[in-house]
Amino acid sequence: MVLSKKQYTLAATALGSSLAFIDATAVIVALPTMQKALHLGLTGEQWIFVSYSLALAALYLVGGALGDRYGHRKIFSRGIAGFALASALAGLAPSGAWLILARVLQGISGAFVTTNSLAWLRSVYGDEAGKAVGLWTSLTGVSTIIAPPLGGALTQWLSWRWIFYINLPLTALVLYWATRGVEDEPRDVKERPLDIPGSALIAIGLSFLTFFLVQGPKTGFGQLWWAAALGVLALAAFLVVEYKKRHPMLPLVLFKTRNFSAANLETFMIYGALYGVFVFFTLYLQFLGLSPLTSSLFLIPTSVILIALAAYFGALSDRRGPRLFLTIGPVLIGTGALMFSLISDKSQVWTIGSVGVAVFSFGLAMLVAPITTVALKSVSAKYAGIASGVNNTLSRIGSLTTIALAGMIISVIFFSQISNKNEVPLGLHQNSPALRQASHHGYQVGMWVVSGLAFAAAAVGWFGITNQQTRNIKD
């Protein structure tokens, strides 16, 4: 079957974005195996995941700006090529430091891919962009189902390195499809100049703050005060630069709109809670004795329910308003996290855990479409791209911040009960009752924190979101 240029564009953007999404989650089930092979602690496991999200969060807006200037297909294609190179380096990693650096490079490339894939589709499909984006969402949604079991199967049957090697033939296919797709025209470079100072400051600020949270339990927070100070100063400087700049990367005036501010604050909180569950519940399942593949399969119902019901709740939100869904959804997610905290042995995974997954999944399906729609619709159409970039950025920042914070709490509680600093919280094959009790206690408190974050997001939804669509930004 011969595809049209538009269809090649859709195929390239869907598969390219799927690869970026898969590598964000497929590694989770392989983290304990990576930790053992590369002699990492819990901190190293966190950095393998967080480094990728950090690079994505810091460069989403930059990637979109480059696409506007030089053409979305061009930047998308170069991002895919960089993603392939970084994946090869990750697969060859002889040490934890090498792997973390390769993950950073993957994240940088992935930011250029994901931001420009949708922008390229909108440019190519014009009035049919809604249908194209819907198909893109369905196709990339499949990646959320296959990523965990794919990572588990490759880790269990081949090697964790194949999680990265498998990207090489797939990126080659994406590049081929991209060359046969429609070449979009870049905008006038004078329309939106690159905000180099803003881009650098937000990347520096997020990097230092994340380093402080992740490395603090091992090195000592007192010794890393400088990292926290530099992070706060860089982010404060970013806000000053954006406020004064004629063409800022992030127009702060957008936050004058109530729903935009509330939706993005809730996005920060709820995506932090979501990834806190995804990462630490998956680690805990393997700590209890489940195989990488089995633990990855346990959360597949979440993806199935999300794909089946997300569009339904999105349409219902359009008719009835988003406030109720942005309140009940986070409450169900928080309740699911609380149920996960009650699991203390493998048998309870299939009883308490199954009910928890159902509650958690239903809440996620109720939430995901309305929260994105509110963030985009609460400002005028000319800011839609920026609004999308802000929402994606805050979801990533929320996830990496919560993973760092929850990991810190788990480590602090574990080492408050265990004096041997060579031990690893939630480590595989811990046979000592004292070690297992310390790991369980740390995990339990970590889940309480994650659950509390979800309940806080529900409060933002109830008190912050209004069903009346208002815009303070002039068209």
The encoded tokens of residue 438 equal 């310390």
The encoded tokens of residue 257 equal 């709109």
- Can you give the CATH number for the domain in which 369 is found? 1.20.1250.20
- Domain annotation covers residue 205: yes
CA terminus-to-terminus distance, the chain: 44
Looking at the fold, whether 383 and 281 belong to one and the same domain comes out as yes
Looking at the fold, whether 237 and 275 belong to one and the same domain comes out as no
Q: Return the number of other C-beta atoms located less than 10 Å from residue 130's C-beta.
A: 10
Q: What pLDDT score was predicted for residue 327?
A: 94
The encoded tokens of residue 412 equal 């602090």
- Domain annotation covers residue 187: no
203: left (phi over 0), alpha (psi -120 to 50) or beta: alpha
Q: What pLDDT score was predicted for residue 472?
A: 44
Looking at the fold, whether 345 and 426 belong to one and the same domain comes out as yes
Is residue 195 a contact partner of residue 66, using CB atoms and an 8 Å limit?
no
- Domain annotation covers residue 289: yes
- Domain annotation covers residue 422: yes
- Domain annotation covers residue 410: yes
Looking at the fold, whether 332 and 432 belong to one and the same domain comes out as yes
How far is residue 10 CA from its own chain's centroid? 22
- Domain annotation covers residue 329: yes
Looking at the fold, whether 372 and 408 belong to one and the same domain comes out as yes
Per-residue pLDDT of the chain (475 residues; tens, 9 = 90+): 566 777 787 788 878 877 877 777 777 777 777 777 777 776 677 777 777 877 777 777 777 777 767 777 888 888 999 999 998 998 888 888 888 889 889 988 988 888 777 777 766 765 554 455 556 665 666 666 666 677 777 777 778 788 888 888 888 988 888 887 766 655 544 455 666 787 788 778 877 876 776 666 566 677 888 888 998 899 899 888 888 877 776 777 778 888 888 989 999 999 899 888 888 888 888 888 887 777 767 777 877 787 777 767 777 877 788 889 999 999 999 999 999 999 988 888 888 988 998 999 899 888 877 787 777 667 665 565 566 667 777 887 788 778 878 888 888 888 888 877 677 787 777 778 888 888 889 999 999 999 999 999 999 999 988 887 544 444 4
Q: What is the 3-state secondary structure (H, E, C) of 203-271?
A: HHHHHHHHHHHHHHHHHCHHHHHHHHHHHHHHHHHHHHHHHHCCCCCCCHHHHHCHHHHHHHHHHHHHH
pTM: 0.73
Burial (0-12, 13-18, 19+ Cβ within 10 Å), 470: exposed
Looking at the fold, whether 353 and 407 belong to one and the same domain comes out as yes
Looking at the fold, whether 74 and 121 belong to one and the same domain comes out as yes
Looking at the fold, whether 341 and 434 belong to one and the same domain comes out as yes
Sequence-distant (≥ 6) Cβ neighbours of residue 130 within 8 angstroms: none
Q: What is the 3-state secondary structure (H, E, C) of 254-307?
A: HHHCHHHHHHHHHHHHHHHHHHHHHHHHHHHHHHCCCCHHHHHHCCHHHHHHHH
Looking at the fold, whether 153 and 223 belong to one and the same domain comes out as no
Looking at the fold, whether 223 and 132 belong to one and the same domain comes out as no
- Domain annotation covers residue 191: no
Q: What pLDDT score was predicted for residue 335?
A: 95
Domain carrying residue 228: 196-246
* Residue ending a domain, choose from 228, 246, 264: 246
Looking at the fold, whether 379 and 236 belong to one and the same domain comes out as no
Looking at the fold, whether 230 and 301 belong to one and the same domain comes out as no
State how many domains the chain has. 3
- Domain annotation covers residue 447: yes
